[in-house]
Structure 1
Amino acid sequence: MSTQGQAFEQLFHDEQAVWLQWGAYEAAVLPGVGANLIAFRDKENQYSFLREPSAENMDSFRASPGVHGIPVLFPPNRYEDGTFTWNGRTYNFPVNEVATGNHLHGFFHTAAWDVEDFGTTKTESYVSLKISIDENHPIYEYLPHRFTIKLRYALNATGLLQHVSVHNEGTDAMPCLIAFHTAINAPFAPNSTVEDCSFTLTTGKRWELNERMLPTGKYQELSADEEAMKTTGLSPIWSAMDNHYTAEPQNGRNAMVLTDSRSNVTLVYDVGTAYKQWMIWNNNATAGFFCPEPQLNLVNAPNVNLPAEQTGLVSLEPGGIWEETSRLYVR
């Protein structure tokens, strides 16, 4: 047991949560709503890094939990007509985005997860969660494979660490398609405004999207602002963004870096280099939050006629494990 940290079960508004505390930091995860890491805060400085639902908005959050906290998407983003064929098998998902006729965001951000363990050590407070899919789980209808996704969050003096793994427990290969729809507050400091905020993102090329928000397989020329997004930075609401980019790590790191010039503090979201794509969305340039979304794969990847190395579509062999770590911390 650590004197610096705690891990305990307690409500987040009216939803059961596992809370982590370490020094000035605290975080909360909601097992019953997609294992969503719904809060990450610095209590000492009153920083709230993630967009959280209010007590009055919990019902609407549960109905559509994609734009608060850190939702896990599997498969992420849009799939044309809710279907794709991969490795000789056709997968059919419900069309849940009427405007585009696509399936959007998968099933895991709304599903109930199991808490494996939580506690503290000499170096961290932590919680481990998992969801296992087999013939008895309703998600198996859409993803007919036996597999387990695990999420582990740990909190210590350096900030928040996320570890995610996908374990194929079946006898045939499965498509591994995953992302996080992370909703970052901008500003996250109480006395700042969005005008005090600028960010950089390790993007490479911009994917061209058609009228259904699906990649054409071609790239678009970057604007001067998009070039600045990679280097000197720009406002999270510089323009309405629902944009898709390749990831291009810089100095060995794949990250979104948000700087608050008024508070003179920087938030780093270092997502690991296994994520080959970025989606970025800012609610039509509305101040308050934006979503830099690390994606393993290209949107609609199985339906795009490009090599798997380019689309990031991972074939996870029987018994195989895919994993990656990400960090949120300040400097």
Structure 2
Amino acid sequence: MTGYIEDITFLNEKAIKFGNEKVEAILAPSLGSNLLSLKYKHKDIEVLRTPVSLEEYKKAPILYGMPILFPPNRIEGGQFTYKGTEYRFPVNERGKFNHIHGFLHDKPWQVCKKEVNGKEIVINTEFSSSEFDLKDSFPQDITVNMSLSLRAETLDIKLEITNKGIEPFPWGAGYHTVFNFPFGPGGKLEDCRISLPVNKHWELNERSLPTGAIHETADTMEIQNGFSLEGRLFDDLFGYDEERALENECILTDQEAGIHVIYHADQHFMFWVLFNQEGFVCPEPYTWVTNAPNLDLSAKLTGLRELRSGETVQLRTRLAIKDI
């Protein structure tokens, strides 16, 4: 299966188109290293929500492709303190006075590697905080390296976060992955199902922040086996509180299109946010719960982790497109 890589212009930005006989994708390094297109060529189906113009994209960049979140979701008042160090982010959700979505998704990344190795295509990009004035928000020096590996209809994504500074910092990461749903043009939501590997529902307040109350999910078996989004809107936070007997993967199925997408996340991703609007759905894997550094809960419960000087953590996710 022959792979290919092309340098293209997309949304008036330099971008990378890569693919094989099964799948074609577009990555925009200058737009937060966002995977803005993932097309299943066999059925001419665009799996991800892709903007048609730069103007459309600029209206809501977080609602296209696969934005990288660091930190993920919301930070109350845009600030927290960890071991005496203050972290201050811009309050960009003004109606709720929160910071939302972090600082990686809207910064340019550098391209480190583009190569075809037999049946595998590898694209590697990197973000370095030293290239930006982030000291007021995130005073530690970090690098984040993303590696995309495409083989047949499966895309593996590895995110490496490295502490280049002296002091430890708390970290949380995630993806705001935006799928067309239904997948096919003219499809019906009644023909679609989504499943999540969760059994706990975190209660949120009017600012969409966790209250600390955690409940059993309603209809746990249904949410784990697949349910319809027809007539239902979500902006909900879920977790899983047992030794993981389930595969940590969300499965999106469109019977009319005849495909399903398996979205796998490794053991670091303890939480899933589900957000949907007409025509799309965002199953968002997170390593920490929303507003984790400000919650009066144990790190084991919230997923808050520390990265010490010189340490690197690797996070792995995978998207696989299959015929039903």
Fold match by TM threshold 0.5: yes
- Structure 1 CA distance, aligned partners of 2:82 and 2:164? 18
- Structure 2 CA distance, aligned partners of 1:235 and 1:252? 20
Q: Give the root-mean-square deviation of aligned CA atoms.
A: 1.7
Does the 8 Å contact 2:143/2:161 carry over to 1? yes
254-263 vs 295-304, which moves further: 254-263
What corresponds to 2:308 in structure 1? 317
Q: Percent identity?
A: 32
What corresponds to 2:297 in structure 1? 306
* Partner SS, residue 55 of structure 2: helix
User: Which of these residues, 67, 83, 92, is aligned with residue 63 of structure 2?
Assistant: 67
Give the deviation of 1:188 after TM superposition. Answer: 1.5
Give the deviation of 1:252 after TM superposition. Answer: 5.1
Cα displacement string for residues 272-309 of structure 1 (whole angstroms, at most 9, x for unaligned residues):
221011111003xx2x1100000000100010011111
Give the deviation of 1:16 after TM superposition. Answer: 1.6
When residues 235 and 252 of structure 1 are mapped into structure 2, their CA distance, relative to the original with a 3 A threshold, is closer
What corresponds to 1:22 in structure 2? 20
Cα displacement string for residues 240-273 of structure 1 (whole angstroms, at most 9, x for unaligned residues):
1000011468655211101122243221011122
When residues 12 and 247 of structure 1 are mapped into structure 2, their CA distance, relative to the original with a 3 A threshold, is farther
- Structure 1 CA distance, aligned partners of 2:103 and 2:293? 18
* Partner SS, residue 222 of structure 2: helix
Does the 8 Å contact 1:8/1:118 carry over to 2? no
* Partner SS, residue 32 of structure 1: helix
What corresponds to 1:54 in structure 2? 52
What corresponds to 2:255 in structure 1? 261
Alignment of 1:32-47 (within 5 A): 32-47=30-45
- Structure 1 CA distance, aligned partners of 2:235 and 2:81? 26
User: Which residue identity lines up with residue 228 of structure 2 in the other structure?
Assistant: S
Provide the TM-score with structure 2 as the length reference: 0.94
- Structure 1 CA distance, aligned partners of 2:25 and 2:93? 31
Does the 8 Å contact 1:71/1:180 carry over to 2? yes
Cα displacement string for residues 31-75 of structure 1 (whole angstroms, at most 9, x for unaligned residues):
1111000011112211211000112xx224135311111000111
What corresponds to 1:242 in structure 2? 235
User: Which of these residues, 80, 96, 100, is aligned with residue 76 of structure 2?
Assistant: 80
User: Which of these residues, 165, 182, 188, is aligned with residue 193 of structure 1?
Assistant: 188
User: Which of these residues, 86, 102, 107, is aligned with residue 103 of structure 2?
Assistant: 107
Give the deviation of 1:131 after TM superposition. Answer: 0.5
- Structure 1 CA distance, aligned partners of 2:221 and 2:232? 14
- Structure 2 unaligned blocks of 5 or more: none
What corresponds to 1:127 in structure 2? 123
Alignment of 1:1-20 (within 5 A): 4-20=2-18
- Structure 2 CA distance, aligned partners of 1:258 and 1:27? 19
- Structure 2 CA distance, aligned partners of 1:329 and 1:42? 10
User: Which residue identity lines up with residue 52 of structure 1 in the other structure?
Assistant: T
User: Which residue identity lines up with residue 244 of structure 1 in the other structure?
Assistant: L
User: Which residue identity lines up with residue 138 of structure 2 in the other structure?
Assistant: L
* Partner SS, residue 57 of structure 2: helix
What corresponds to 2:266 in structure 1? 272
User: Which residue identity lines up with residue 271 of structure 1 in the other structure?
Assistant: A
Give the deviation of 1:137 after TM superposition. Answer: 1.6
User: Which of these residues, 203, 217, 220, is aligned with residue 215 of structure 2?
Assistant: 220
Give the deviation of 1:121 after TM superposition. Answer: 0.5
User: Which residue identity lines up with residue 126 of structure 1 in the other structure?
Assistant: V
Does the 8 Å contact 1:202/1:250 carry over to 2? no
What corresponds to 2:288 in structure 1? 297
Cα displacement string for residues 94-122 of structure 1 (whole angstroms, at most 9, x for unaligned residues):
11111101111111111111111111001
* Partner SS, residue 66 of structure 1: helix
- Structure 1 CA distance, aligned partners of 2:120 and 2:289? 34
- Structure 2 CA distance, aligned partners of 1:146 and 1:163? 20
User: Which residue identity lines up with residue 168 of structure 1 in the other structure?
Assistant: N
Does the 8 Å contact 2:26/2:38 carry over to 1? yes
Aligned pair count?
A: 321
User: Which residue identity lines up with residue 26 of structure 2 in the other structure?
Assistant: A
- Structure 2 CA distance, aligned partners of 1:214 and 1:128? 34
- Structure 1 unaligned blocks of 5 or more: none
